[in-house]
Amino acid sequence: MTNALTRLVTLVFFTALLSACASQKTGQGLVAKPPSESQIESSVKDQVALMLHAFTPVAGQAIPNNTVLDVYKHRGYSPMWIKDKQINLSIYKLVDILEKANTHGLNPIHYHVGIIKHYLSLKNPTPQQLAEMDVITTIALASYAHDLSNGRYEPQLIDPNWQLDAPSNDWKTLLQMASVNDMVNSLHLLAPRSPQYQILQKWLVYYQELSKKEKDIFVTPGKPLAIGDQGPRVAQLRARLVQLGDIRFSTRKVDEDRFDKQLKQALERFQNRHHLIADGAAGPNTIKTLNVPLKRRAEQIAYNLERWRWLPSQLEANRIWVDLTNYSVDMYLNGNHTTMKAIIGTPDRKTPVFKAIMTYMVVNPTWRVPDRIARENLLPKLQADPNYLSKHGYKVFANWGIGAKQLDPTQINWRAISQENLAFRFEQTPDKNNALGSYKFMFPNRNEIYLHDTPTKRLFRARNRAFSSGCIRLERPALFAKSLMTDGKDLRELAAAMKSKKTKVLTLPHYIPVYLVYFTVVANANGMPEFRNDIYGRDKLMEEAMGYKAFSPHDSI
Protein backbone atom coordinates (compact mmCIF):
# COMPACT_ATOMS: atom_id res chain seq x y z
CA MET A 1 0.00 0.00 0.00
CA THR A 2 1.39 3.40 -0.89
CA ASN A 3 1.96 6.08 1.76
CA ALA A 4 -0.78 8.23 0.25
CA LEU A 5 -3.28 5.36 0.30
CA THR A 6 -2.26 4.43 3.84
CA ARG A 7 -2.90 8.00 4.97
CA LEU A 8 -6.27 8.08 3.19
CA VAL A 9 -7.43 4.80 4.73
CA THR A 10 -6.25 5.93 8.17
CA LEU A 11 -7.99 9.27 7.79
CA VAL A 12 -11.30 7.70 6.70
CA PHE A 13 -11.15 5.11 9.47
CA PHE A 14 -10.46 7.56 12.26
CA THR A 15 -12.87 10.17 10.99
CA ALA A 16 -15.57 7.51 11.24
CA LEU A 17 -14.28 6.34 14.62
CA LEU A 18 -14.16 9.80 16.12
CA SER A 19 -17.58 10.68 14.71
CA ALA A 20 -19.05 7.55 16.21
CA CYS A 21 -17.41 8.22 19.55
CA ALA A 22 -18.51 11.84 19.58
CA SER A 23 -22.13 10.86 18.90
CA GLN A 24 -22.50 8.91 22.15
CA LYS A 25 -25.21 10.66 24.14
CA THR A 26 -27.08 10.42 27.38
CA GLY A 27 -30.63 11.61 27.82
CA GLN A 28 -29.34 15.16 28.19
CA GLY A 29 -26.94 15.05 25.17
CA LEU A 30 -23.15 14.69 25.45
CA VAL A 31 -21.77 13.60 28.79
CA ALA A 32 -21.44 16.83 30.74
CA LYS A 33 -19.66 15.83 33.93
CA PRO A 34 -16.09 14.56 33.97
CA PRO A 35 -15.87 10.75 33.95
CA SER A 36 -14.55 8.95 36.99
CA GLU A 37 -11.07 7.47 37.26
CA SER A 38 -12.50 3.94 37.27
CA GLN A 39 -14.50 4.63 34.12
CA ILE A 40 -11.40 5.85 32.28
CA GLU A 41 -9.26 2.99 33.60
CA SER A 42 -11.81 0.45 32.47
CA SER A 43 -11.96 2.05 29.03
CA VAL A 44 -8.16 2.12 28.75
CA LYS A 45 -8.03 -1.64 29.25
CA ASP A 46 -10.66 -2.12 26.56
CA GLN A 47 -8.98 0.28 24.13
CA VAL A 48 -5.33 -0.82 24.34
CA ALA A 49 -5.67 -3.88 22.09
CA LEU A 50 -8.12 -2.12 19.76
CA MET A 51 -5.95 0.95 19.27
CA LEU A 52 -2.73 -1.02 18.89
CA HIS A 53 -4.40 -3.07 16.17
CA ALA A 54 -5.92 -0.03 14.45
CA PHE A 55 -2.69 1.96 14.28
CA THR A 56 -0.91 -0.36 11.92
CA PRO A 57 2.75 0.18 10.98
CA VAL A 58 3.40 2.95 8.46
CA ALA A 59 6.09 2.87 5.77
CA GLY A 60 7.21 -0.62 6.76
CA GLN A 61 8.31 0.30 10.30
CA ALA A 62 6.94 -1.91 13.07
CA ILE A 63 5.49 0.32 15.77
CA PRO A 64 6.64 -0.96 19.19
CA ASN A 65 3.17 -2.19 20.14
CA ASN A 66 4.31 -4.80 22.64
CA THR A 67 6.16 -2.18 24.66
CA VAL A 68 3.04 -0.01 24.89
CA LEU A 69 1.00 -3.02 25.98
CA ASP A 70 3.60 -3.90 28.63
CA VAL A 71 3.57 -0.33 29.95
CA TYR A 72 -0.18 -0.39 30.51
CA LYS A 73 -0.12 -3.88 32.02
CA HIS A 74 2.54 -2.74 34.47
CA ARG A 75 0.36 0.23 35.43
CA GLY A 76 -2.70 -1.94 35.89
CA TYR A 77 -4.18 -0.15 32.85
CA SER A 78 -4.39 3.16 34.69
CA PRO A 79 -4.27 6.10 32.28
CA MET A 80 -0.91 7.76 31.72
CA TRP A 81 -2.03 11.23 30.66
CA ILE A 82 -5.04 11.78 32.92
CA LYS A 83 -4.99 12.17 36.67
CA ASP A 84 -7.56 13.57 39.08
CA LYS A 85 -9.89 14.00 36.10
CA GLN A 86 -7.40 16.40 34.51
CA ILE A 87 -5.36 15.99 31.33
CA ASN A 88 -1.66 16.29 32.09
CA LEU A 89 -0.26 19.43 30.47
CA SER A 90 2.76 17.45 29.27
CA ILE A 91 0.58 16.12 26.48
CA TYR A 92 0.63 19.58 24.89
CA LYS A 93 4.41 19.70 25.11
CA LEU A 94 4.56 16.27 23.50
CA VAL A 95 2.32 17.41 20.66
CA ASP A 96 4.65 20.36 20.07
CA ILE A 97 7.66 18.01 19.96
CA LEU A 98 5.93 15.63 17.57
CA GLU A 99 4.91 18.48 15.27
CA LYS A 100 8.62 19.32 14.99
CA ALA A 101 9.71 15.74 14.21
CA ASN A 102 10.70 17.00 10.76
CA THR A 103 13.65 18.81 12.38
CA HIS A 104 15.18 15.34 12.83
CA GLY A 105 14.19 14.20 9.34
CA LEU A 106 11.19 12.28 10.73
CA ASN A 107 7.62 12.76 9.53
CA PRO A 108 5.01 14.04 12.05
CA ILE A 109 2.31 12.03 10.27
CA HIS A 110 3.81 8.86 11.77
CA TYR A 111 3.06 10.15 15.28
CA HIS A 112 -0.68 10.83 14.93
CA VAL A 113 -0.45 14.51 15.85
CA GLY A 114 -3.71 15.48 14.15
CA ILE A 115 -5.66 12.72 15.89
CA ILE A 116 -4.32 13.65 19.33
CA LYS A 117 -5.19 17.30 18.72
CA HIS A 118 -8.72 16.30 17.71
CA TYR A 119 -9.25 14.53 21.03
CA LEU A 120 -7.84 17.49 22.92
CA SER A 121 -10.35 19.76 21.18
CA LEU A 122 -13.38 17.81 22.48
CA LYS A 123 -15.27 19.86 25.06
CA ASN A 124 -17.01 17.02 26.91
CA PRO A 125 -15.13 13.82 26.08
CA THR A 126 -16.60 10.49 27.12
CA PRO A 127 -14.62 7.91 29.12
CA GLN A 128 -14.02 5.99 25.90
CA GLN A 129 -12.72 9.08 24.12
CA LEU A 130 -10.38 9.89 26.98
CA ALA A 131 -9.13 6.31 26.98
CA GLU A 132 -8.59 6.43 23.24
CA MET A 133 -6.67 9.68 23.58
CA ASP A 134 -4.53 8.23 26.37
CA VAL A 135 -3.60 5.12 24.39
CA ILE A 136 -2.93 6.84 21.06
CA THR A 137 -0.76 9.43 22.82
CA THR A 138 1.28 6.66 24.43
CA ILE A 139 1.62 4.93 21.06
CA ALA A 140 2.85 8.20 19.56
CA LEU A 141 5.33 8.71 22.41
CA ALA A 142 6.68 5.17 22.11
CA SER A 143 7.00 5.37 18.32
CA TYR A 144 8.79 8.70 18.38
CA ALA A 145 11.09 7.59 21.22
CA HIS A 146 12.00 4.44 19.30
CA ASP A 147 12.55 6.25 16.00
CA LEU A 148 14.64 9.04 17.52
CA SER A 149 16.82 6.50 19.29
CA ASN A 150 17.10 3.61 16.82
CA GLY A 151 15.91 5.00 13.51
CA ARG A 152 12.53 4.44 11.93
CA TYR A 153 13.57 2.10 9.13
CA GLU A 154 15.20 -1.33 9.03
CA PRO A 155 18.54 -0.79 7.25
CA GLN A 156 18.81 -4.24 5.68
CA LEU A 157 15.32 -3.88 4.18
CA ILE A 158 16.65 -0.80 2.41
CA ASP A 159 20.06 -2.14 1.40
CA PRO A 160 21.26 -5.76 1.93
CA ASN A 161 24.83 -4.45 1.98
CA TRP A 162 24.00 -2.30 5.00
CA GLN A 163 24.53 -4.61 7.95
CA LEU A 164 25.20 -2.08 10.69
CA ASP A 165 22.25 -1.78 13.06
CA ALA A 166 22.96 -1.37 16.78
CA PRO A 167 19.58 -0.95 18.49
CA SER A 168 19.42 0.69 21.89
CA ASN A 169 16.93 0.03 24.68
CA ASP A 170 17.14 3.59 26.02
CA TRP A 171 13.73 4.38 24.54
CA LYS A 172 12.15 1.52 26.51
CA THR A 173 13.78 2.81 29.69
CA LEU A 174 12.17 6.19 29.05
CA LEU A 175 8.71 4.58 29.01
CA GLN A 176 9.38 3.10 32.44
CA MET A 177 9.85 6.50 34.10
CA ALA A 178 7.56 7.41 36.96
CA SER A 179 5.68 10.23 35.22
CA VAL A 180 4.86 11.36 31.70
CA ASN A 181 6.41 14.71 32.64
CA ASP A 182 9.79 12.98 32.99
CA MET A 183 9.21 10.98 29.80
CA VAL A 184 8.45 14.03 27.68
CA ASN A 185 11.25 16.10 29.22
CA SER A 186 13.75 13.31 28.55
CA LEU A 187 12.79 12.65 24.92
CA HIS A 188 15.54 14.85 23.49
CA LEU A 189 18.19 12.74 25.25
CA LEU A 190 17.36 9.80 22.95
CA ALA A 191 18.82 11.45 19.85
CA PRO A 192 22.37 10.32 18.96
CA ARG A 193 24.95 12.11 21.10
CA SER A 194 27.53 12.36 18.37
CA PRO A 195 28.55 15.96 17.60
CA GLN A 196 28.20 14.99 13.94
CA TYR A 197 24.49 14.26 14.42
CA GLN A 198 23.88 17.39 16.43
CA ILE A 199 25.58 19.66 13.88
CA LEU A 200 23.83 18.04 10.91
CA GLN A 201 20.48 18.31 12.68
CA LYS A 202 20.96 22.06 13.01
CA TRP A 203 21.86 22.32 9.33
CA LEU A 204 18.73 20.37 8.44
CA VAL A 205 16.65 22.96 10.27
CA TYR A 206 18.59 25.73 8.53
CA TYR A 207 17.90 24.33 5.06
CA GLN A 208 14.26 23.62 5.90
CA GLU A 209 13.61 27.13 7.19
CA LEU A 210 15.64 28.80 4.44
CA SER A 211 13.75 26.93 1.70
CA LYS A 212 10.47 28.21 3.18
CA LYS A 213 11.61 31.83 3.46
CA GLU A 214 13.64 32.20 0.29
CA LYS A 215 13.73 30.92 -3.25
CA ASP A 216 16.86 29.16 -4.44
CA ILE A 217 19.35 31.52 -6.04
CA PHE A 218 20.62 29.67 -9.09
CA VAL A 219 23.68 30.44 -11.20
CA THR A 220 22.82 30.58 -14.89
CA PRO A 221 24.85 27.92 -16.76
CA GLY A 222 27.39 29.27 -19.22
CA LYS A 223 31.11 29.68 -19.71
CA PRO A 224 33.26 29.07 -16.61
CA LEU A 225 33.57 32.00 -14.21
CA ALA A 226 36.98 32.88 -12.75
CA ILE A 227 38.72 35.68 -10.90
CA GLY A 228 38.57 38.95 -12.86
CA ASP A 229 35.25 38.18 -14.57
CA GLN A 230 32.32 40.58 -14.28
CA GLY A 231 28.59 40.49 -14.92
CA PRO A 232 25.23 39.34 -13.58
CA ARG A 233 26.29 35.66 -13.39
CA VAL A 234 29.07 36.64 -10.98
CA ALA A 235 26.45 38.41 -8.84
CA GLN A 236 24.36 35.21 -8.88
CA LEU A 237 27.40 33.21 -7.80
CA ARG A 238 28.12 35.59 -4.94
CA ALA A 239 24.46 35.59 -3.79
CA ARG A 240 24.29 31.79 -3.91
CA LEU A 241 27.43 31.43 -1.79
CA VAL A 242 25.94 33.89 0.72
CA GLN A 243 22.73 31.84 0.78
CA LEU A 244 24.65 28.61 1.39
CA GLY A 245 26.81 30.08 4.15
CA ASP A 246 30.15 30.08 2.34
CA ILE A 247 30.23 33.88 2.45
CA ARG A 248 29.49 35.42 5.82
CA PHE A 249 27.48 38.62 5.92
CA SER A 250 29.74 41.64 5.97
CA THR A 251 29.21 45.37 6.06
CA ARG A 252 32.22 45.75 3.76
CA LYS A 253 31.18 47.29 0.47
CA VAL A 254 31.83 45.01 -2.49
CA ASP A 255 31.27 45.12 -6.21
CA GLU A 256 28.78 42.28 -6.46
CA ASP A 257 29.28 41.83 -10.21
CA ARG A 258 33.08 41.42 -9.99
CA PHE A 259 34.83 38.10 -9.33
CA ASP A 260 37.41 39.16 -6.72
CA LYS A 261 39.84 37.31 -4.45
CA GLN A 262 37.33 36.96 -1.61
CA LEU A 263 34.79 35.37 -3.94
CA LYS A 264 37.44 32.94 -5.21
CA GLN A 265 38.28 31.90 -1.64
CA ALA A 266 34.60 31.41 -0.82
CA LEU A 267 34.14 29.28 -3.94
CA GLU A 268 37.15 27.16 -2.98
CA ARG A 269 35.54 26.53 0.42
CA PHE A 270 32.35 25.47 -1.33
CA GLN A 271 34.27 23.18 -3.69
CA ASN A 272 36.20 21.56 -0.86
CA ARG A 273 33.06 20.72 1.08
CA HIS A 274 31.43 19.21 -2.00
CA HIS A 275 34.46 17.06 -2.95
CA LEU A 276 35.09 19.06 -6.13
CA ILE A 277 38.47 20.16 -7.48
CA ALA A 278 39.08 23.36 -5.49
CA ASP A 279 40.39 25.57 -8.29
CA GLY A 280 38.32 28.61 -7.35
CA ALA A 281 36.63 28.70 -10.77
CA ALA A 282 32.95 28.04 -11.45
CA GLY A 283 32.98 25.44 -14.23
CA PRO A 284 30.07 23.18 -15.29
CA ASN A 285 30.42 20.69 -12.40
CA THR A 286 30.69 23.44 -9.82
CA ILE A 287 27.66 25.31 -11.20
CA LYS A 288 25.65 22.07 -11.31
CA THR A 289 26.50 21.44 -7.66
CA LEU A 290 25.73 25.04 -6.69
CA ASN A 291 22.28 24.68 -8.27
CA VAL A 292 21.19 21.66 -6.23
CA PRO A 293 17.96 22.92 -4.55
CA LEU A 294 17.87 23.61 -0.83
CA LYS A 295 15.08 21.08 -0.34
CA ARG A 296 17.21 18.39 -1.95
CA ARG A 297 20.06 19.20 0.43
CA ALA A 298 17.62 18.89 3.35
CA GLU A 299 16.62 15.43 2.10
CA GLN A 300 20.25 14.33 1.90
CA ILE A 301 20.87 15.46 5.47
CA ALA A 302 17.75 13.58 6.61
CA TYR A 303 19.05 10.32 5.10
CA ASN A 304 22.30 10.71 7.03
CA LEU A 305 20.58 11.53 10.32
CA GLU A 306 18.74 8.22 9.96
CA ARG A 307 22.07 6.47 9.34
CA TRP A 308 23.44 7.95 12.55
CA ARG A 309 20.43 6.55 14.43
CA TRP A 310 21.42 3.08 13.21
CA LEU A 311 24.75 3.41 15.00
CA PRO A 312 25.29 2.82 18.74
CA SER A 313 24.19 5.79 20.82
CA GLN A 314 27.75 6.06 22.15
CA LEU A 315 30.87 5.03 20.23
CA GLU A 316 33.86 3.41 21.87
CA ALA A 317 36.77 5.72 22.67
CA ASN A 318 39.16 3.23 21.01
CA ARG A 319 37.92 2.32 17.54
CA ILE A 320 38.83 2.07 13.87
CA TRP A 321 36.58 4.09 11.59
CA VAL A 322 36.56 3.13 7.91
CA ASP A 323 34.95 6.13 6.22
CA LEU A 324 33.93 4.76 2.83
CA THR A 325 32.73 7.98 1.17
CA ASN A 326 35.90 9.77 2.29
CA TYR A 327 38.17 6.92 1.14
CA SER A 328 39.91 7.05 4.51
CA VAL A 329 40.59 5.09 7.69
CA ASP A 330 40.70 6.83 11.06
CA MET A 331 42.29 5.26 14.13
CA TYR A 332 41.14 6.47 17.53
CA LEU A 333 43.51 4.79 19.98
CA ASN A 334 44.52 5.83 23.48
CA GLY A 335 43.48 9.42 22.95
CA ASN A 336 45.34 9.75 19.64
CA HIS A 337 43.75 10.22 16.23
CA THR A 338 45.51 9.08 13.06
CA THR A 339 44.04 9.15 9.58
CA MET A 340 45.21 7.73 6.26
CA LYS A 341 43.95 7.25 2.73
CA ALA A 342 42.16 4.05 1.80
CA ILE A 343 40.98 2.21 -1.30
CA ILE A 344 37.49 0.70 -1.16
CA GLY A 345 35.37 -1.64 -3.27
CA THR A 346 34.22 -0.70 -6.76
CA PRO A 347 30.51 0.08 -7.34
CA ASP A 348 30.20 -3.45 -8.75
CA ARG A 349 31.83 -4.94 -5.65
CA LYS A 350 30.60 -2.65 -2.93
CA THR A 351 32.27 -2.68 0.46
CA PRO A 352 29.45 -3.46 2.91
CA VAL A 353 28.60 -1.41 5.98
CA PHE A 354 29.02 -3.30 9.26
CA LYS A 355 30.77 -3.49 12.61
CA ALA A 356 33.22 -6.18 13.74
CA ILE A 357 36.07 -6.68 16.23
CA MET A 358 39.69 -6.67 15.06
CA THR A 359 41.49 -9.48 16.88
CA TYR A 360 44.71 -10.25 14.99
CA MET A 361 46.99 -9.34 12.11
CA VAL A 362 48.91 -11.51 9.65
CA VAL A 363 52.45 -10.43 8.76
CA ASN A 364 53.83 -11.50 5.36
CA PRO A 365 50.47 -13.02 4.44
CA THR A 366 49.71 -15.60 1.80
CA TRP A 367 46.81 -14.55 -0.39
CA ARG A 368 44.22 -17.21 -1.03
CA VAL A 369 42.41 -15.82 -4.07
CA PRO A 370 38.63 -15.61 -3.48
CA ASP A 371 36.61 -17.77 -5.85
CA ARG A 372 34.88 -14.83 -7.56
CA ILE A 373 38.14 -12.99 -8.20
CA ALA A 374 39.70 -16.21 -9.52
CA ARG A 375 36.85 -16.68 -11.99
CA GLU A 376 36.40 -13.09 -13.11
CA ASN A 377 39.94 -11.67 -12.89
CA LEU A 378 42.57 -14.37 -12.71
CA LEU A 379 41.25 -16.87 -15.27
CA PRO A 380 41.18 -14.36 -18.20
CA LYS A 381 44.81 -13.43 -17.43
CA LEU A 382 45.78 -17.12 -17.43
CA GLN A 383 44.04 -17.69 -20.75
CA ALA A 384 46.01 -14.80 -22.22
CA ASP A 385 49.31 -15.88 -20.64
CA PRO A 386 49.71 -19.49 -19.34
CA ASN A 387 52.86 -18.39 -17.43
CA TYR A 388 51.01 -15.66 -15.49
CA LEU A 389 50.97 -17.69 -12.24
CA SER A 390 54.71 -18.34 -12.10
CA LYS A 391 55.50 -14.74 -13.03
CA HIS A 392 53.46 -13.39 -10.12
CA GLY A 393 54.21 -15.97 -7.42
CA TYR A 394 50.97 -17.99 -7.50
CA LYS A 395 50.49 -21.66 -6.67
CA VAL A 396 47.54 -23.68 -7.94
CA PHE A 397 45.87 -26.54 -6.07
CA ALA A 398 43.45 -29.20 -7.31
CA ASN A 399 40.56 -28.00 -5.15
CA TRP A 400 39.62 -26.03 -2.02
CA GLY A 401 40.02 -28.98 0.33
CA ILE A 402 42.66 -29.19 3.05
CA GLY A 403 45.64 -31.14 1.72
CA ALA A 404 44.67 -30.59 -1.91
CA LYS A 405 47.41 -31.53 -4.37
CA GLN A 406 49.56 -28.75 -5.81
CA LEU A 407 49.47 -28.76 -9.61
CA ASP A 408 51.82 -27.68 -12.38
CA PRO A 409 50.02 -24.72 -14.03
CA THR A 410 51.88 -25.25 -17.34
CA GLN A 411 50.18 -28.66 -17.70
CA ILE A 412 46.66 -27.19 -17.57
CA ASN A 413 44.80 -26.05 -20.69
CA TRP A 414 43.40 -22.81 -19.26
CA ARG A 415 41.61 -21.87 -22.46
CA ALA A 416 39.44 -24.98 -22.20
CA ILE A 417 38.17 -23.95 -18.75
CA SER A 418 35.12 -21.70 -18.37
CA GLN A 419 34.39 -19.47 -15.39
CA GLU A 420 31.56 -21.81 -14.35
CA ASN A 421 33.86 -24.87 -14.32
CA LEU A 422 36.85 -23.32 -12.54
CA ALA A 423 37.41 -25.37 -9.36
CA PHE A 424 41.09 -24.78 -8.61
CA ARG A 425 42.40 -22.92 -5.57
CA PHE A 426 45.02 -20.25 -6.12
CA GLU A 427 47.44 -18.90 -3.52
CA GLN A 428 49.98 -16.10 -3.87
CA THR A 429 53.14 -16.56 -1.80
CA PRO A 430 54.43 -13.77 0.48
CA ASP A 431 56.67 -11.30 -1.35
CA LYS A 432 56.73 -7.65 -2.37
CA ASN A 433 54.30 -8.30 -5.24
CA ASN A 434 51.73 -10.13 -3.12
CA ALA A 435 48.29 -8.51 -3.56
CA LEU A 436 48.03 -8.17 0.23
CA GLY A 437 51.45 -6.60 0.63
CA SER A 438 53.13 -7.18 4.00
CA TYR A 439 50.11 -6.92 6.32
CA LYS A 440 46.59 -8.19 6.68
CA PHE A 441 44.40 -6.95 9.55
CA MET A 442 41.59 -9.29 10.54
CA PHE A 443 38.21 -8.67 12.13
CA PRO A 444 36.30 -11.92 11.45
CA ASN A 445 33.01 -11.29 9.64
CA ARG A 446 30.66 -13.08 7.29
CA ASN A 447 31.66 -10.80 4.41
CA GLU A 448 35.32 -11.90 4.51
CA ILE A 449 36.34 -8.24 4.46
CA TYR A 450 39.65 -7.14 5.97
CA LEU A 451 42.18 -4.28 5.85
CA HIS A 452 45.50 -4.88 4.11
CA ASP A 453 48.62 -3.52 2.49
CA THR A 454 49.00 -3.31 -1.31
CA PRO A 455 51.91 -3.12 -3.74
CA THR A 456 49.94 -0.76 -6.01
CA LYS A 457 50.74 2.49 -4.21
CA ARG A 458 50.05 4.77 -7.20
CA LEU A 459 46.28 4.34 -6.78
CA PHE A 460 46.38 6.37 -3.58
CA ARG A 461 47.10 9.45 -5.68
CA ALA A 462 43.60 9.29 -7.19
CA ARG A 463 40.82 11.47 -5.73
CA ASN A 464 38.16 8.78 -6.00
CA ARG A 465 39.59 5.47 -4.82
CA ALA A 466 36.93 2.78 -5.42
CA PHE A 467 39.25 0.19 -7.01
CA SER A 468 39.21 -2.94 -4.81
CA SER A 469 37.09 -6.07 -4.81
CA GLY A 470 35.57 -5.10 -1.46
CA CYS A 471 38.43 -5.22 1.03
CA ILE A 472 40.13 -2.05 2.30
CA ARG A 473 43.67 -1.19 1.17
CA LEU A 474 45.68 1.04 3.50
CA GLU A 475 48.02 3.85 2.51
CA ARG A 476 50.32 3.40 5.54
CA PRO A 477 49.94 -0.19 6.76
CA ALA A 478 53.23 -0.23 8.70
CA LEU A 479 52.09 2.75 10.78
CA PHE A 480 48.71 1.09 11.22
CA ALA A 481 50.36 -2.12 12.46
CA LYS A 482 52.62 -0.30 14.94
CA SER A 483 49.69 1.71 16.31
CA LEU A 484 47.92 -1.53 17.27
CA MET A 485 50.84 -2.59 19.49
CA THR A 486 50.80 -1.17 23.00
CA ASP A 487 54.34 -1.73 24.31
CA GLY A 488 57.93 -2.49 23.38
CA LYS A 489 57.50 -6.26 23.61
CA ASP A 490 54.66 -6.21 21.04
CA LEU A 491 56.66 -3.96 18.72
CA ARG A 492 59.72 -6.22 18.92
CA GLU A 493 57.57 -9.25 18.09
CA LEU A 494 56.16 -7.36 15.09
CA ALA A 495 59.64 -6.37 13.87
CA ALA A 496 60.90 -9.95 14.20
CA ALA A 497 57.95 -11.31 12.25
CA MET A 498 58.54 -8.82 9.44
CA LYS A 499 62.24 -9.63 9.30
CA SER A 500 61.59 -13.39 9.06
CA LYS A 501 59.80 -12.99 5.71
CA LYS A 502 57.55 -15.84 6.84
CA THR A 503 53.82 -15.75 7.37
CA LYS A 504 53.07 -15.15 11.05
CA VAL A 505 49.84 -14.48 12.95
CA LEU A 506 50.02 -11.89 15.76
CA THR A 507 47.17 -11.61 18.23
CA LEU A 508 46.42 -8.00 19.12
CA PRO A 509 47.11 -7.03 22.75
CA HIS A 510 43.68 -5.39 22.81
CA TYR A 511 40.72 -6.18 20.57
CA ILE A 512 39.40 -3.11 18.76
CA PRO A 513 35.95 -2.42 17.26
CA VAL A 514 35.98 -1.64 13.55
CA TYR A 515 33.20 0.38 11.92
CA LEU A 516 32.73 0.49 8.16
CA VAL A 517 30.41 3.46 7.64
CA TYR A 518 28.81 5.31 4.75
CA PHE A 519 27.74 8.96 5.05
CA THR A 520 27.01 11.25 2.12
CA VAL A 521 26.77 14.33 4.36
CA VAL A 522 29.07 15.07 7.30
CA ALA A 523 30.04 18.16 9.27
CA ASN A 524 33.53 19.30 8.34
CA ALA A 525 36.13 20.73 10.73
CA ASN A 526 34.54 24.19 10.42
CA GLY A 527 31.06 22.92 11.24
CA MET A 528 29.85 23.32 7.65
CA PRO A 529 27.96 20.51 5.88
CA GLU A 530 30.21 18.49 3.58
CA PHE A 531 28.29 16.82 0.74
CA ARG A 532 30.04 13.77 -0.67
CA ASN A 533 29.60 11.65 -3.78
CA ASP A 534 27.08 8.86 -3.35
CA ILE A 535 29.55 6.24 -4.62
CA TYR A 536 27.26 3.25 -4.22
CA GLY A 537 23.90 4.91 -4.96
CA ARG A 538 22.67 4.35 -1.42
CA ASP A 539 20.88 7.70 -1.12
CA LYS A 540 18.49 6.60 -3.86
CA LEU A 541 17.59 3.55 -1.77
CA MET A 542 16.99 5.81 1.24
CA GLU A 543 14.77 8.07 -0.82
CA GLU A 544 12.67 5.14 -2.02
CA ALA A 545 12.33 3.70 1.49
CA MET A 546 11.60 6.93 3.32
CA GLY A 547 9.30 8.38 0.65
CA TYR A 548 10.94 11.61 1.70
CA LYS A 549 9.66 15.07 1.04
CA ALA A 550 10.11 18.35 2.89
CA PHE A 551 8.16 17.17 5.91
CA SER A 552 6.29 19.78 7.88
CA PRO A 553 3.68 19.72 10.65
CA HIS A 554 1.02 20.26 7.98
CA ASP A 555 1.72 16.78 6.61
CA SER A 556 0.09 15.20 9.65
CA ILE A 557 -3.57 14.22 9.54
Q: Mean pLDDT over residues 516-541, rounded?
A: 96
Cα–Cα nearest to 65, from 167, 143, 170: 143
Residues 6+ apart with CB under 8 A from 21: 126, 128, 129, 132
To 5 degrees, how large is the angle CA 33–CA 38–CA 40?
A: 65
Q: Mean pLDDT over residues 412-435, rounded?
A: 90
**Does position 549 have pLDDT exceeding 70, yes or no?**
no
What are 31-86's pLDDT values in tens digits? 445 666 666 666 777 777 777 766 655 544 555 677 888 899 888 888 999 887 78
What is the spatial distance between Cα 451 and Cα 453, in angstroms, rounded to a whole number? 7
Which long-range contacts (C-beta less than 8 Å, at least 24 apart) are formed by 266-271?
266/241, 267/237, 267/241, 269/528, 270/241, 270/244, 270/246
What is the spatial distance between Cα 202 and Cα 35, in angstroms, rounded to a whole number? 44
**Does position 15 have pLDDT exceeding 80, yes or no?**
no
Burial class (CB in 10 A: 0-12, 13-18, 19+), 348: exposed
How far are the Cα atoms of 87, 90, 148, 205, 355 from residue 186, in angstroms, in the given order?
A: 20, 12, 12, 21, 29
Lowest mean pLDDT among 225-234, 284-293, 399-408: 399-408
Average pLDDT, the chain: 88
% the chain with pLDDT above 90: 70
- DSSP per-residue codes, 91-114: HHHHHHHHHTGGGGT--GGGGTHH
How far the first Cα of the chain sits from its last, in Å, is 17
What are the φ/ψ torsions at residue 395 (nearest 5 degrees)? -115, 150
What is the pLDDT, as a whole number, of residue 390? 87
What is the pLDDT, as a whole number, of residue 548? 52
Give the DSSP H or E segment for 241.
helix 232-243
**Does position 236 have pLDDT exceeding 90, yes or no?**
yes
Confidence class for position 22, pLDDT limits 50, 70, 90 = very low
What are 294-324's pLDDT values in tens digits? 999 999 999 999 999 999 988 999 999 999 9
Q: Mean pLDDT over residues 235-257, rounded?
A: 87
What is the pLDDT, as a whole number, of residue 11? 37
What is the pLDDT, as a whole number, of residue 31? 43
Q: Which amino acid is at 27?
A: G
All domains of the chain in start order, with CATH: 3-197+551-555 (no CATH), 217-292 (1.10.101.10), 315-366+433-518 (2.40.440.10), 369-429 (no CATH)
Confidence class for position 30, pLDDT limits 50, 70, 90 = very low
How far are the Cα atoms of 106, 160, 333, 379, 406 from residue 411, in angstroms, in the given order?
A: 63, 42, 51, 15, 12
**Does position 20 have pLDDT exceeding 70, yes or no?**
no
Name the CA dihedral angle for 410, 412, 418, 424, rounded to a multiple of 10 degrees: -90
**Does position 282 have pLDDT exceeding 70, yes or no?**
yes
Catalytic residues: 452, 471
What are 248-267's pLDDT values in tens digits? 866 567 889 999 999 999 99
CB 395 within 8 A of CB 427: yes
